[in-house]
């Protein structure tokens, strides 16, 4: 803050705590500037004593008894010679047509504007000492003298109250009263260190008598820290101009300090400080409490601090001022946010300028990553600014920091910018380089330039997998798929199959099938089988001829998909299964109808594959040899029994019994399992006397239980059969007992003439069968003596079973 009182451009405010080294972090509520022009001219010859503010003009009173009317810029428009002594207060009504003036001579004068803009004066009050202050609001005038505060009602021409002075120890001429109206009925009184908030209220009609129609009630009263020189309302808060005296630490003498302008929140018996500014006004060192005044313009929230040699205007800070303060405190993030929120209202600031200042601030602090990240939001789609910032990051060696945030679509920067960053990574960070190549579209930079740079680096490190993979990606961007595929296969990279599918590179892999199978046989086989039209089965088998294990994997998957497509290779597959995948040999032999059985039997016998040999012998019709192998090679009675059940051949059962008769474990197995296929008595009769058979009793009990179960099943079936037969017989009887309608539309199935005669009086005879066919009796053959029953000729001829006659009609 500038100390020189005469310096026009100097700061008008300071922190109230002068001992603080650092500036306050709390943002001030008001900003200040001096009122110059005509005011400067006046104060060179006179001294300001008071001021009042109207929407259209200002009125300034002086020590020499003059009142000047000024425009809002401070230019003089009119001058009044009011009194030979100091003007204590000037007050205007809302229209500006009435002006109240009080001076040191003790009179309160009322000036009224008349015709030709002339002013007529009259005395409102005198005789109680000097009138120190006067304030006008609506129909009410409040003024203060040495005794207290009076309120006068213009409409009723009555004085409605007198608020006496509290602290009589203070000289009223040195510590005058300060008045201000908050609204039409609320008066705020400041005197000494005391503040009173008074409310003008209407008196009830029953209480009036000879009293005024209104009265005043004090609704709040509290003390302040310093002497009050002026008051003004600010919404529900209060602006207080205070006179301050302090004691010097060096001399221990009291001196006049800078006046304070505080914003406080009034409470019932106290107040809360919101903000406080110490003001450097001209000549503050010689001023007393009476020398300061505070006036305000209610519509614009302007506050005028009046002192003998200075008039300072305090304004509520706008959004531009708020942003100024944030930038001063280096709170760029908040400043940027405030500008974005209020971009329609700010006049002095631009969002882009604040953003650029923020980026520079972050860079200066070494927070490169945050600065780079903010570029996305601040620089937006401005390509020129982006390029400028990239070069700035290059100068400080921080290209890597800005690389993740560069625009990749709208806008697109010059290719040189992207190439410059890629070269930076290529020199020091292969992984970061690879990441950018993956993330950036290939059209952002000159692909051939980057490819050559990578190849130059591979000359120094030819086996670097990161560089090789990245080179393959660059080849892919450049549509050089052959070179890309070569690298992917060398690296055994998972993307090789995706590359082949995406770009239809099947013609390029016909001689690389072994490499693909070695890399991932499962994926390779699926791909080859899905694209048989591009790479034939024959070509794949030929390519895998020297790698039978891979050939087997391919042919096995082919067989699983379709049992017939690879039938020409089924003979070859027998050996491949036998060599590499015996568990799947038997299923293959069972499912294939193209497999040469003799060849398969030969291979299985050579390798002693018993189960497979048994299956082949059985399939070739040599069941007895198959059974013999099961019993002699496998020694598995359960399997032998199961095989005999499948073949359902009596001779096989006989062979099985003969083989088992001298083997007690086999006998037990047979006793437990053959009860439903072979009469157990045949086996029991052949058992030698004295042969010890394990679990014989349990086996015999099971045979008996199985026999009883068979008997029960037969009896149950018999009962069901009899019940069903009876039910059907009853149904047939009911059906045959029903009548059959015969009318003129029915015909004889033999002669095809109407079954009924045209003349109903004539006698006739007809036969109707249960099958609904009808005949004239004379049209049917005469029944023989051996078979007197008659049958329907039509149903008998169609082998549907003869229908017997159900009705014979005669007339």
Rounded distance, CA 685 to CA 677, Å? 17
The DSSP H or E segment spanning 151 is strand 148-153
In three-state secondary structure terms, 806 is strand
Q: Which long-range contacts (CB under 8 A, 24 or more apart) does 656-662 make?
A: 656/627, 656/631, 657/682, 657/683, 657/686, 659/628, 659/631, 660/631, 661/686, 661/687, 661/688, 662/688
Give phi and psi for 219, each to the nearest 5: -95, -20
Rounded distance, CA 297 to CA 35, Å? 14
pLDDT of residue 149: 92
Tokens for 274, please give them: 């919101």
* Region of poorest pLDDT, from 110-124, 141-155, 467-481, 525-539: 110-124
Of all residues in the chain, the percent with pLDDT exceeding 90 is 11
Rounded distance, CA 491 to CA 251, Å? 88
The answer, yes or no, to whether residue 672 has pLDDT greater than 80, is: no
How far does CA 71 lie from the centroid of its chain?
Answer: 58
Concatenated DSSP letters of 188-237: EEEETTEEEEEEEEEPPHHHHTTS-SEEEEEEEEEE-SSEEEEEEEETTE
The answer, yes or no, to whether residue 621 has pLDDT greater than 80, is: no
Q: Among candidates 626, 673, 681, 677, which has minimal Cα distance to 649?
A: 677
Mean of per-residue pLDDT scores for the chain: 82
Rounded distance, CA 192 to CA 224, Å? 9
C-beta of residue 474 within 8 angstroms of C-beta of residue 466: no
C-beta of residue 613 within 8 angstroms of C-beta of residue 585: no
* Region of poorest pLDDT, from 180-189, 532-541, 643-652: 643-652
Q: 15: pLDDT confidence band, cut at 50, 70 and 90?
A: very low
Angle subtended at Cα 680 by Cα 677 and Cα 684, rounded to the nearest 5 degrees? 150
Which of the pair, 647 or 393, is modelled with greater confidence? 393
Of all residues in the chain, the percent with pLDDT exceeding 70 is 88
* Region of poorest pLDDT, from 75-79, 292-296, 425-429, 622-626: 622-626
Rounded distance, CA 62 to CA 309, Å? 11
In three-state secondary structure terms, 622 is coil
Residue 769's beta-bridge partner residues? 805
C-beta of residue 746 within 8 angstroms of C-beta of residue 754: yes
Q: Among candidates 536, 530, 458, which has minimal Cα distance to 497?
A: 530
Distances in whole angstroms, Cα of residue 565 to Cα of each of 322, 526, 529, 544, 594? 82, 15, 11, 18, 11
Tokens for 511, please give them: 């001689």
pLDDT of residue 695: 67
Range 458-482 average pLDDT: 82
The answer, yes or no, to whether residue 279 has pLDDT greater than 50, is: yes
* Region of poorest pLDDT, from 86-90, 218-222, 569-573: 86-90
Tokens for 506, please give them: 């099947």
- Bin 157: left if φ > 0, else alpha if -120 < ψ < 50, else beta: left
The answer, yes or no, to whether residue 255 has pLDDT greater than 80, is: yes
Which of the pair, 720 or 613, is modelled with greater confidence? 720
The answer, yes or no, to whether residue 291 has pLDDT greater than 50, is: yes
pLDDT of residue 194: 92
Rounded distance, CA 763 to CA 410, Å? 109
Q: 200: pLDDT confidence band, cut at 50, 70 and 90?
A: very high
Tokens for 326, please give them: 């944030």
Report the helix count and the strand count for the chain, using DSSP H and E: 29, 30
C-beta of residue 507 within 8 angstroms of C-beta of residue 539: no
CB 416: neighbour CB atoms within 10 A? 13
Tokens for 222, please give them: 């509290």
The DSSP H or E segment spanning 484 is helix 481-491
The answer, yes or no, to whether residue 762 has pLDDT greater than 90, is: no
pLDDT of residue 239: 93
Rounded distance, CA 458 to CA 490, Å? 15
Rounded distance, CA 693 to CA 699, Å? 10
What burial letters (b/e) apply to 331-345, b meaning 16+ CB within 10 Å? Answer: bbeebbebbeeeeee
pLDDT tens per residue across span 351-388: 888 888 988 888 888 889 999 888 888 888 888 899 99
pLDDT of residue 669: 67
The answer, yes or no, to whether residue 231 has pLDDT greater than 50, is: yes
C-beta of residue 143 within 8 angstroms of C-beta of residue 135: yes
The answer, yes or no, to whether residue 13 has pLDDT greater than 70, is: no
pTM for the full model? 0.54
Rounded distance, CA 665 to CA 739, Å? 70
First to last CA, the chain: 145
The DSSP H or E segment spanning 458 is helix 447-460
Residue 767's beta-bridge partner residues? 775, 808
pLDDT of residue 798: 61
pLDDT of residue 221: 92
The answer, yes or no, to whether residue 17 has pLDDT greater than 50, is: no
Q: 151: pLDDT confidence band, cut at 50, 70 and 90?
A: very high
Rounded distance, CA 338 to CA 355, Å? 12
The answer, yes or no, to whether residue 802 has pLDDT greater than 60, is: no
pLDDT tens per residue across span 60-99: 999 998 989 888 888 888 888 888 888 887 877 777 788 8
DSSP class of 760? T
C-beta of residue 50 within 8 angstroms of C-beta of residue 306: yes
Helical H segments across 122-182, by residue range: none
Angle subtended at Cα 13 by Cα 8 and Cα 15, rounded to the nearest 5 degrees? 150
Q: 150: pLDDT confidence band, cut at 50, 70 and 90?
A: very high
The answer, yes or no, to whether residue 38 has pLDDT greater than 90, is: no
* % helix, strand, coil for the chain, step of 5: 40, 25, 35
Tokens for 530, please give them: 């899905």
- Pairing of β 140-145 and β 148-153: antiparallel
pLDDT of residue 797: 67
* Region of poorest pLDDT, from 101-105, 172-176, 291-295: 101-105
The answer, yes or no, to whether residue 441 has pLDDT greater than 90, is: no
pLDDT of residue 19: 37
Q: Which long-range contacts (CB under 8 A, 24 or more apart) does 738-741 make?
A: 740/768, 740/772, 740/806, 740/807
The answer, yes or no, to whether residue 18 has pLDDT greater than 60, is: no
Tokens for 669, please give them: 């197995």
Rounded distance, CA 271 to CA 268, Å? 8
C-beta of residue 631 within 8 angstroms of C-beta of residue 657: no
DSSP class of 802? P
> SS3 string of 631-675?
HHHHCCHHHHHHHHHHHCCHHHHHHHHHHHCCCHHHHHHHHHHCC
Rounded distance, CA 589 to CA 618, Å? 12
Rounded distance, CA 245 to CA 242, Å? 10
C-beta of residue 546 within 8 angstroms of C-beta of residue 579: no
Q: 653: pLDDT confidence band, cut at 50, 70 and 90?
A: confident
In three-state secondary structure terms, 607 is coil
- Bin 159: left if φ > 0, else alpha if -120 < ψ < 50, else beta: beta
Which of the pair, 108 or 412, is modelled with greater confidence? 412
Tokens for 371, please give them: 């600065």
pLDDT of residue 21: 39
How far does CA 151 lie from the centroid of its chain?
Answer: 65
The answer, yes or no, to whether residue 195 has pLDDT greater than 90, is: yes
C-beta of residue 651 within 8 angstroms of C-beta of residue 628: no
pLDDT tens per residue across span 559-569: 888 888 888 88
Residue-level length of the chain? 811
Rounded distance, CA 415 to CA 410, Å? 14
Sorted by sequence, the CB contacts under 8 Å of residue 315 that are 6+ apart come out as 30, 31, 32, 33, 300, 301, 302, 303
Angle subtended at Cα 62 by Cα 58 and Cα 65, rounded to the nearest 5 degrees? 115
């Amino acid at each position: 803050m500038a100390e020189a009182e005469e310096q026009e451009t100097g700061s008008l405010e300071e922190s109230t705590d002068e001992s603080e080294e650092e500036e306050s972090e709390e943002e001030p509520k008001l900003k200040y500037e001096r009122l110059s022009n005509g005011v400067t001219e006046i104060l060179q010859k006179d001294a300001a004593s008071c001021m009042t503010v109207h929407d259209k003009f200002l009125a300034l009173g002086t020590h020499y008894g003059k009142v000047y009317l000024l425009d809002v810029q401070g230019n003089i428009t009119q001058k009044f010679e009011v009194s030979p002594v100091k003007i204590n207060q000037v007050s205007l009504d809302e229209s500006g047509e009435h002006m109240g003036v009080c001076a040191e001579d003790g009179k309160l004068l009322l000036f009224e504007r008349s015709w030709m803009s002339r002013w007529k004066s009259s005395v409102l009050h005198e005789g109680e000492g000097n009138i120190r202050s006067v304030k006008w609001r609506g129909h009410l005038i409040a003024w203060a003298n040495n005794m207290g505060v009076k309120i006068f009602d213009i409409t009723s021409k009555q004085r409605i109250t007198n608020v006496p002075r509290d602290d009589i120890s203070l000289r009223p001429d040195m510590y005058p009263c300060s008045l201000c109206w908050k609204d039409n009925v609320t008066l705020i009184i400041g005197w000494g260190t005391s503040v009173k908030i008074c409310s003008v209220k209407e008196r009830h009609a029953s209480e009036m008598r000879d009293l005024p129609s209104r009265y005043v009630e004090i609704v709040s009263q509290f003390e302040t820290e310093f002497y009050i020189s002026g008051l003004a309302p600010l919404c529900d808060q209060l602006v207080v101009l205070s006179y301050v005296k302090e004691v010097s630490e060096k001399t221990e003498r009291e001196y006049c300090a800078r006046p304070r302008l505080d914003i406080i929140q009034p409470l019932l018996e106290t107040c809360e400080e919101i903000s406080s500014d110490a003001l450097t006004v001209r000549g503050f060192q010689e001023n007393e409490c009476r020398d300061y005044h505070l006036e305000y313009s209610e519509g614009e929230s302007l506050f005028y601090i009046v002192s003998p040699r200075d008039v300072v205007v305090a304004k509520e800070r706008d959004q531009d001022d708020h942003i100024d303060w944030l930038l001063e405190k280096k709170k760029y993030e908040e400043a940027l946010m405030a500008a974005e929120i209020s971009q329609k209202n700010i006049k002095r600031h631009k969002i882009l300028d604040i953003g650029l200042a923020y980026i520079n601030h972050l860079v200066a602090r070494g927070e490169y990553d945050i600065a780079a990240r903010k570029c996305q939001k601040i620089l937006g789609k401005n390509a020129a600014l982006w390029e400028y910032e990239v070069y700035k990051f290059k100068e400080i060696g921080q290209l890597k920091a800005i690389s993740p945030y560069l625009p990749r679509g709208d806008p697109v920067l010059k290719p040189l910018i992207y190439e410059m960053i890629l070269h930076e990574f290529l020199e020091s960070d292969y992984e970061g380089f690879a990441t950018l190549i993956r993330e950036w579209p290939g059209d952002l930079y000159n692909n051939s330039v980057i490819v050559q740079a990578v190849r130059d680096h591979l000359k120094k490190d030819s086996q670097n997998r990161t560089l090789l993979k990245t080179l393959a990606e660059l080849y892919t961007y450049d549509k050089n798929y052959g070179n890309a595929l070569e690298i992917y296969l060398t690296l055994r990279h998972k993307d090789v199959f995706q590359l082949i599918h995406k770009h239809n590179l099947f013609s390029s892999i016909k001689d690389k099938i072994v490499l693909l199978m070695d890399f991932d046989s499962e994926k390779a086989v699926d791909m080859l089988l899905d694209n048989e039209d591009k790479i034939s089965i024959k070509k794949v088998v030929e390519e895998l001829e020297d790698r039978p294990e891979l050939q087997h994997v391919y042919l096995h998957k082919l067989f699983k998909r379709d049992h017939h497509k690879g039938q020409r290779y089924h003979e070859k597959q027998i050996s491949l299964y036998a060599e590499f995948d015996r568990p799947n040999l038997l299923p293959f032999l069972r499912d294939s109808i193209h497999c040469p059985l003799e060849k398969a039997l030969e291979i299985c016998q050579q390798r002693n594959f018993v189960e497979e040999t048994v299956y082949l012998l059985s399939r070739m019709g040599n069941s007895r040899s198959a059974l013999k192998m099961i019993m002699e090679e496998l020694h598995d009675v359960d399997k032998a029994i199961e095989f005999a059940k499948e073949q359902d051949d009596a001779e096989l059962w006989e062979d099985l019994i003969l083989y088992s008769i001298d083997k007690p474990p086999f006998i037990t197995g047979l006793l437990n399992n053959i009860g439903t296929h072979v009469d157990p008595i045949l086996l029991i009769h052949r058992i030698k006397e004295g042969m010890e058979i394990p679990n014989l009793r349990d086996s015999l009990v099971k045979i008996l239980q199985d026999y009883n179960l068979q008997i029960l099943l037969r009896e149950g079936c018999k009962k069901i059969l009899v019940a069903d037969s009876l039910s059907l017989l009853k149904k047939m009887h009911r059906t045959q007992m029903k009548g059959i309608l015969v009318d003129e539309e029915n015909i004889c199935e033999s002669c095809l003439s109407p079954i009924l005669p045209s003349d109903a009086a004539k006698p006739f005879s007809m036969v109707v069968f249960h099958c609904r066919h009808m005949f004239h009796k004379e049209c049917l053959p005469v029944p023989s003596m051996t078979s007197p029953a008659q049958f329907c000729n039509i149903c008998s001829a169609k082998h549907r079973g003869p229908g017997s006659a159900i009705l014979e009609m005669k007339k």
